[in-house]
Amino acid sequence: MSHSALLSRAPFGRILTAMVTPFDENGKVDYGLAADLASYLVDQGSDGIVVCGTTGESPTLTWQEQKKMLETVRNSLGSKAKVLAGTGSNSTSEAIEATKEAANLGADGALVVVPYYNKPPQEGLEIHFRSIANAAPELPLMLYNIPGRTGCSISPSIVSKLMDCSNVVSFKAASGTTDEVTQLRNYCGSDLAIYSGDDALILPMLAVGAVGVVSVASHIVGLHLKKMIESFFEGKYDQSLYFHETLQPLFKSLFATTNPIPVKAALQLIGWSVGPPRSPLVSLNSEMKEELLKTLSSMRLI
């Protein structure tokens, strides 16, 4: 398959940054800084921005804050990059309303996570996602499987059933295994664009058919990730492997504790005053921060 054909299979581009939500000194969302950060990330290689996902602390943002974050980033970027909104919920009706709202506000897509905590059976997951897809049929959807956070996992066979919804176009695979990509491709073929949900697994997932990544590390090393992915699709596998191996210490540091605690600390260290996470998350402890600083310094990122 040609490089151009491969590109056509990545509906949102190769690198999507799951953007943090900046807070000011009073704990309020800093929308001006969010606009600046989104533009910076695009300049650093991101093809798209995901607002109000896990990294954006969606559990502690109000719906009004989420709406304004989407409006802010959409207006800031214009046509420079894709903008996806995290619209998932463990309530189907809430997810439907959020997805419809994202469509009305001009999002290019919606990231819709598997329902968390209430652990629906597979039949319930099919109804949940089908209801969301049918409620906003013109808005492309990225289904999001992250069982480590949700306590629930959607099966590839159910995903294949959902492929009759024309707007189910992509999937964020964050189960921590490449086998998920293989199983999804076996069931859904190449019509489903699979994105790695794990920075450390980008290269292995590309090797088994993923088309890109929804990244946290791209806040810090967006251009490095861009080179790694481009090298892979250009057949320069040694160069791609070099970036994969070189970036592993940073990936490890950025997930040393719950995301987005470390990446917010890393952004602070490189000059972005994005504030601490909202409670019940806390700032990175001093020992981990020192290790993160060493990693950033050794990689000449600060």
Per-residue model confidence as pLDDT tens digits over 103-142: 999 999 999 999 999 999 999 999 999 999 999 999 999 9
Q: What percent of the chain has pLDDT over 90?
A: 97
What's the Cα-to-Cα distance from 221 to each of 10, 199, 225, 243, 267, rounded to whole Å? 21, 11, 6, 11, 11
User: Does the CA dihedral 149-151-157-160 come out positive or negative?
Assistant: negative
Provide the token pair at 46: 């991101």
pLDDT at site 180: 97
Residue 271 pLDDT > 90: yes
* Whether residue 84 has pLDDT greater than 60: yes
Residue 212 structure tokens = 């890109």
State the catalytic residue, choosing from 67, 82, 172, 264.
Answer: 172
The pLDDT of residue 2 is 39
Q: 18 forms bridges with which residues in the sheet?
A: 50
| pLDDT at site 170 | 98
Give kind and range of the element (H or E) at residue 196.
strand 193-196
Q: Which domains does the chain have, with CATH numbers?
A: 3-234 (3.20.20.70)
Residue 1, pLDDT score: 39
In angstroms, rounded to a whole number, what is the distance separating the alpha carbons of residues 132 and 39? 30
Give residue for tokens 């995290």.
Answer: 86
Give the β-pairing of 15-18 and 82-86.
unpaired
Is residue 7's pLDDT more than 80?
no
Task: Please determine, for residue 146, whether its predicted confidence score (pLDDT) is greater than 90.
Answer: yes
Whether 226 is catalytic is no
| 86-110: pLDDT as tens digits | 999 999 999 999 999 999 999 999 9
Name residue 171's beta-bridge partners.
143, 194
Name the pairing type of β-strands 82-86 and 109-113.
parallel
| Mean pLDDT (whole number) for 212-218 | 98
Q: Looking at the predicted structure, is the pLDDT value of residue 231 above 60? A: yes
- Compute the 3-state secondary structure of the chain and give helix, strand, coil in percent, each to the nearest 5: 50, 15, 35
Task: Go through the chain and tell me how many residues it has.
Answer: 302
Residue 283: closest CA among 85, 27, 7, 103: 27
The CB-side HSE value for 47 (13 A sphere, CA atoms) comes to 18
CA distance linking residue 227 with residue 243, whole number of Å: 8
Q: What is the pTM of this model?
A: 0.95
Tell me the C-alpha distance between 298 and 290, whole Å. 12
Provide the mean pLDDT of the chain. 96
The pLDDT tens digits of the residues spanning 21-61 come to 999 999 999 999 999 999 999 999 999 999 999 999 999 99
What percentage of the chain carries pLDDT values higher than 70? 97
Q: Is 40 a catalytic residue?
A: no
pLDDT band at 145; cut points 50, 70, 90: very high
Please pick, among 67, 144, 195, 226, the residue that the annotation labels catalytic. Answer: 144
HSE (CB half, 13 Å, CA atoms) of 28? 6
Question: So what's the pLDDT on residue 4?
Answer: 39
The pLDDT of 172-192, averaged and rounded, is: 97
pLDDT bin (cut points 50, 70, 90) of residue 9 is: confident
